[in-house]
Amino acid sequence: MSWLILILSGALEAVWAAALHRTAQATGRRRLVPAFVFLVSVLASTGGLAVAMQSIPTGTAYAVWVGVGVVLTSGYAMIAKVERATAARIQLLGGIAASVAGLKLVA
What's the structural domain count of the chain?
Answer: 1
* pLDDT digits 0-9 by tens, 39-71: 999 999 999 999 999 999 999 999 999 999 999
CA distance 46 to 52: 10
* Residue 85 structural domain: 2-106
How sure is the predictor about 21, in pLDDT bands with cuts at 50, 70 and 90?
confident
Tell me how far apart the terminal alpha carbons of the chain are, to the nearest angstrom.
Answer: 14
Percent with pLDDT over 70 in the chain: 94
